[in-house]
Structure 1
Amino acid sequence: MWMQTWWLVKKEMINKAGSIFLTALFVMLVGVITATMLGQFIEGQRSNQFLLDLIFIGITPSFAALVMSGPYLTFQTIKTDPFTKVMGFYRSLAIPFRVLVLSRTVFMLFTLVAMSAVYYLTIFLRLQVSFIALFEVSNYLMFALFWFGYALALGGINSFIEYGTSGKMLYIFSFVMTISVVAFVLLFSLTFHVGFVELSIRLLEQYQWYAVCLSLVLGCLGFTLWYKLLYIRLGTRDYV
């Protein structure tokens, strides 16, 4: 089963090499922007705190998707529904159903790990001089792993929306989530007078690797949950 899964994943990596590259460039750009704001945050400026929270809460889970691929860049996706067609084609082949679902999940995990690595490495390289003067490298590693756990917990929703729903729902979900994240971050900030990034730094200062381990455990649980939900959904979906 794992050999078949890996074969499908490798095939998709080759077919989507261009999208992977473009998405990595986009993630690097986001990393540069984040590093600039995070550097100001470290120096005591809080004017960009809201935007930082939006990036970490709203954008980092999307690193599990190739956001610079065709389906995300054109409204034709609403009509053509490419993800459904791909899954319908795979279902017509002599490939075990569990392998299909597992391949979607493994590819999502590969994308999330790769793009997260690009993102946090970009931030570190941009912050290197000022960051090392104030923090140890191990503290930044804890910070990156803590937020990776968060992205891992929610990243599976991308595969579920892509292959478990329709092209129309992909755009509706993106719009609704954008509005919801902005409202949630704003409400949290106004209510508690603290941002999520600042709160995460406080937690890491107090609990260090315990907080990181908890985040990663919750991330693995979320990852497993989305796999099971996708398995159930694809098993009952009509691709005609």
Structure 2
Amino acid sequence: MSEWKGAWFLAKHEMLKDRWRSLITLAFIIYLLIFSIPLFTADLEGESNPFTWATDFIYLSLLPCLGFVFNKTMMGYWKNDTYTKKMAQWRTMPISSKQIALGRLIQLTIVLFIAQLIFFTLQYSVLYMNHVNIPVLDFVMYGLFWFCYSLALATAYVYWEIGHTGKTYFLMNFICIFGFLVITICLAVFKAGNIVVTSLHVIENGNWWIVLAVLAVTVAALFIGKNRMVERLEKRSYRA
């Protein structure tokens, strides 16, 4: 079986297995929208808001998480090291490290794209109904910008997920989230602006090059990430 064919088979198998659990992701999307839209609207209109950092924090730390299905494997990675057990099982089968890495990235990209398509479509619909007029094409580019960012960061999450123990995976995620929390609070304290709203304004001003720039970074992240995952899968320990 070719590398791409095997990778697609793995991705399809995992997505079919998690079909009904996608409802949990949908619930998470609605949860994010409930909290983020009022904050986003206030930031967009320039209102004074002590929680202006929260919009940036949600986008920077939580949007990439929409590429991960909340299934049994994910819920048990800390206690039972479920990802290591799954990788160990797959490595006993005629499945190459390249197929595992590529298949996981294909699954990530598809799940993230669908989840963020729902997120940004609902967000735009609610904003439109509240008379917040943003040109459709600008909003599409804005959504693409954040999708590319999310995919690049989520690729790093996948590297830790399949290449390390559950405790290491948790620790790296915690460091990332804590780092984003510190950065966003510092931006708010020093009144350095809002990343989310600034990205939209930059695009509205015709600077679409930022989308191309983040797209290039994402392509590089996928290429480098896939190669690093393959190397890691070849030499890591599979003792859970």
Shift of 1:84: 0.8
- C-alpha deviation, 1:71, in angstroms: 4.2
Amino acid at match of 1:163: I
> TM-score, length-normalised on structure 1?
0.89
- Aligned residue identity for 2:30: M
- Structure 1: distance between partners of 2:194 and 2:43: 11
Q: How does 1:197-216 map to 2 (within 5 A)?
A: 197-216=196-215
Asked if 1:124 corresponds to 2:134, the answer is no
Identity rate, percent = 21
Q: Map Cα deviations across residues 13-49 of structure 1 (whole Å, 9 max, x no partner).
A: 1212233221122123212322222223333324142
The Cα shift of 1:192 comes to: 5.5
Query: Partners in 1 of 2:126 and 2:186 — Cα distance?
Result: 31
Q: Which residue of 1 aligns with 2:90?
A: 90
The residue type equivalent to 1:167 in the other structure is G
Which has a greater percent of helix?
1
Deviations 1:117-147 (A, max 9, x none): 121112112112235x532111211211111
Between 187-196 and 87-96, the greater mean CA deviation after superposition: 187-196
Deviation at 1:198, TM superposition (A): 2.8
**Is the 1:5–1:99 contact (alpha carbons within 8 Å) kept by the matching residues of 2?**
yes
User: Tell me, what secondary structure is at the counterpart of 1:93?
Assistant: coil
> Per-residue deviation at 1:201?
2.5
- Root-mean-square deviation (Å): 2.0
Check if 1:59 corresponds to 2:62: yes
Conserved in 1, the CA contact under 8 Å of 2:148 and 2:218? yes
**Paired residue type of 2:85:** K
Matched, 1:25 2:27: yes
1:3 to 2, 5, 24: 5
| Distance (whole Å) between structure 1 residues aligned to residue 98 and residue 10 of structure 2 | 12
Decide whether the 8 Å contact of 1:77 with 1:167 is kept in 2: yes
Q: For 1:111 and 1:196, locate their aligned partners in 2 and report how far apart those are by CA, in whole Å.
A: 25
For the 8 Å contact 2:88–2:238, the answer to whether it is kept is: yes
Structure 2 unaligned residues grouped into runs of 5+: none
CA distance in structure 2 between the aligned counterparts of 1:163 and 1:172, rounded to whole angstroms: 14
The aligned residue for residue 168 of structure 1 is 167
Rounded to whole Å, the distance in 1 between the matches of 2:224 and 2:169 is 20
Partner of 1:105: 105
Alpha-carbon distance change, 19 to 169 in structure 1, aligned in 2, over 3 angstroms:
farther
Aligned length: 236
- Does the residue aligned with 2:205 lie in a helix, a strand or coil? helix
What is residue 41 of structure 2 aligned with on the other side? Answer: 39
Distance 2:135 2:78 in 1: 47
**Is the 2:127–2:133 Cα contact (8 Å) retained in structure 1?**
no
Matched, 1:49 2:58: no
Report if aligned partners of 1:64, 1:158 keep a CA contact under 8 Å in 2. no
When residues 170 and 19 of structure 1 are mapped into structure 2, their CA distance, relative to the original with a 3 A threshold, is: farther
Unaligned runs of 5+ in 1: none
The one-letter code matched in structure 2 to 1:137 is V
User: Following the alignment from structure 1 to structure 2, what is the Cα–Cα distance between the partners of residues 163 and 177?
Assistant: 17
In the aligned structure 2, how far is the partner of 1:101 from the partner of 1:193? 38
Shift of 1:226: 1.6
Could you list the per-position Cα deviations for residues 193-218 of structure 1 after superposition, in whole angstroms to 9, with x for gaps in the alignment?
21211321332233432222222222
Q: 1:147 is matched by which residue type in structure 2?
A: W
Aligned match of 1:232 = 231
